[in-house]
Amino acid sequence: MSEAIVVEDLCKSYGDVRAVDGVSFTVYTGEIFGMVGPNGAGKTTTVECVEGLRRPDRGTIRVLGFDPQRDGYALRERIGVQLQEAALPDRIRVDEAMSLFASLYPRSVDWRPLLEQVGLTDKQRSFFADLSGGQKQRLFVALALVNDPDLIFLDELTTGLDPQARRAMWDLVRGMRERGKTVFLTTHYMEEAERLCNRVAIIDHGRIVALDTPENLIRSLGAEQRVVFTADGGWDGAVLRGVPGVTRVERIGERVVVYGRGERLVGGVVGALERMGVRFRDLHTEQPSLEDVFLALTGREMRE
Amino acid sequence: MRGLTKLTLVQMKLYLREPVAAFFTLFFAPLMLLLFGFIYGNDPVPIFGNRGMMDVSVPAYMALIIATVGLMAVPIGTASRRETGVLRRFRATPLRPTAYLISEVAVYFGMTLLGVLLLIAVGRAVYDVRFEGRLLDVIVGFALASASFLTTGYLIASLAPTARVAQVVGMIVFYPMIFLSGATIPLQVLPETVQNVARFIPLTYAVRLLQGLWFGDPWGDHLREVAALTGLLVVGGIAAARTFRWSAD
pLDDT tens, chain B, 249 aa long: 688 999 999 999 999 999 999 999 999 999 999 999 999 999 999 999 899 999 999 999 999 999 999 999 999 999 999 999 999 999 999 999 899 999 999 999 999 999 999 999 999 999 999 999 999 999 999 999 999 999 999 999 999 999 999 999 999 999 999 999 999 989 988 899 998 999 999 999 999 999 999 999 999 999 999 999 999 999 999 999 899 888 877
Residue B229 falls inside a structural domain: yes
With respect to residue B113, please indicate whether it lies within any of the assigned structural domains.
Answer: yes
Helix (H, G, I), strand (E, B) or coil at B42: coil
Question: Could you tell me if residue A300 is inside a domain?
Answer: no
Residues of B in contact with A108 (CB under 8 A): none
Is the pLDDT at A219 greater than 90? The verdict is no
User: For B89, which of A73, A83, A106 is closest by C-beta distance?
Assistant: A83
Structure confidence at residue A81 (pLDDT): 96
Percent of chain A with pLDDT over 90: 61
Q: Is residue B67 one of the residues assigned to a domain? A: yes
The dihedrals phi and psi of B211, each to the nearest 5 degrees, come to: -65, -45
d(CA B38, CA A201): 73
Query: Is residue B19 included in any domain, yes or no?
Result: yes
Count of the separate structural domains present in chain B? 1
Name the band, by pLDDT with cuts 50, 70 and 90, for residue A154. very high
Number of domains in chain A: 2
- Angstrom distance (rounded) from CA A43 to CA A299: 19
Both A75 and A44 in a single domain? yes
Q: Do B17 and A91 touch (CB under 8 A)?
A: yes
Residue B248 within any structural domain of the chain: no
**pLDDT confidence of A302, banded at 50, 70, 90?**
low
Which residue range forms the structural domain that includes residue A266? 224-287
Residue A140 with chain B: CB contacts under 8 Å = 89
Q: Is A228 helix (H, G, I), strand (E, B) or coil?
A: strand
- pLDDT of A65 higher than 60: yes
Chain B residue with the nearest C-alpha to that of A89: B86
d(Cα A128, Cα A175) in Å, to the nearest integer? 25
Instruction: With respect to residue B111, please indicate whether it lies within any of the assigned structural domains.
Output: yes
Cβ–Cβ gap B85/A99 under 8 Å: no
- Cβ neighbors of A159 (< 8 A, separation 6 or more) are A84, A187, A188
Question: For A91, what's the count of Cα atoms within 13 Å in the CB-facing half-sphere?
Answer: 12
**Domain finish residue from A166, A190, A219:** A219
Spatial strand order in the sheet of A151-155: A79-82, A151-155, A182-187, A32-36, A199-204, A207-212
Whether the pLDDT of residue A238 is over 50: the answer is yes
Q: Are residues A129 and A268 in the same domain?
A: no
Separation of alpha carbons A29 and A5, rounded Å: 8
CATH number (domain holding residue A245): 3.30.70.100
Average per-residue pLDDT for chain A:
91
Residue A181 shares a structural domain with residue A240: no
Strand boundaries in B6-108, DSSP class E: none
Q: Are B88 and A85 in contact (CB under 8 A)?
A: yes
Please tell me the predicted confidence (pLDDT) of residue B100. 93
d(CA A139, CA A126): 11
Backbone angles phi, psi at A201, to 5 degrees: -105, 125
A304 is a domain residue: no
Q: For residue A114, what pLDDT is reported?
A: 94
Give buried/exposed letters for B210-240 (b at 16+ CB in 10 A, else e): bbbbbbebeeeebeebbebbeebbeebbebb
Is residue A67 in some structural domain?
A: yes
Nearest to B86 among A74, A87, A105 (CB): A87
Nearest residue, CB atoms, A100 vs list B6, B91, B94 = B6
Q: What angle do CA A80, A83, A85 make, to 5 degrees?
A: 160
Please state the ipTM of this predicted complex. 0.90
Run of H or E residues at A3: strand A3-14
User: Does residue A297 lie within any of the structural domains?
Assistant: no
pLDDT score of A67 more than 50: yes
The answer to whether the beta carbons of residues A200 and A212 sit under 8 Å apart is yes
Cα–Cα distance between A104 and A18 in angstroms, integer?
35
Q: Tell me if A108 is assigned to some domain.
A: yes
**pLDDT of A245 higher than 90:** no
Cβ–Cβ gap A53/B88 under 8 Å = yes
Nearest-CA residue of chain B relative to A92? B14
Task: Assess if residue A45 is contained within a domain.
Answer: yes
What sign does the dihedral A211-A216-A219-A225 (CA atoms) show?
positive
For residues A213 and A283, membership in a common domain is answered with: no
Nearest to A173 by CA among A191, A189, A187, A152: A152
A128 in the same domain as A186: yes
Which positions ≥6 away from B244 have C-beta within 8 Å? B154, B158
Asked whether residue A159 falls in the same domain as residue A81, the answer is: yes
Residues A154 and A238 occupy one common structural domain: no
Strands A151-155 and A182-187: parallel
Residue A25 lies in a domain: yes
Instruction: Give the global pTM.
Output: 0.87
- Give the three-state DSSP class for A6: strand
**In this prediction, what percent of chain A has a pLDDT beyond 70?**
98
pLDDT beyond 90 at A104: yes
Q: Which domain holds residue B23?
A: 2-243
The answer to whether position A158 is within a domain reads yes
Question: Which chain B positions have a beta carbon within 8 Å of A51's beta carbon?
Answer: 92
Q: Which of A90, A136, A141, A147 to mutate to test the interface with B (most CBs of B within 10 A)?
A: A90
Q: Residue B249 falls within a domain, yes or no?
A: no
Q: Which of A219, A241, A262 is a domain's end point?
A: A219
Residues of B in contact with A81 (CB under 8 A): 92
Domain boundary among A176, A197, A219: A219
pLDDT value, residue A304: 45
In the predicted model, is pLDDT for residue A51 greater than 90? Answer: yes
Kindly report the CATH number assigned to the domain that includes residue A156.
Answer: 3.40.50.300
**Dihedral class, residue A156 (left if φ above 0, else alpha if ψ from -120 to 50, else beta):** left
- Is residue B176 situated within a structural domain? yes
Residues of A in contact with B92 (CB under 8 A): 51, 53, 76, 81, 83, 86
Q: Are residues A153 and A94 in the same domain?
A: yes
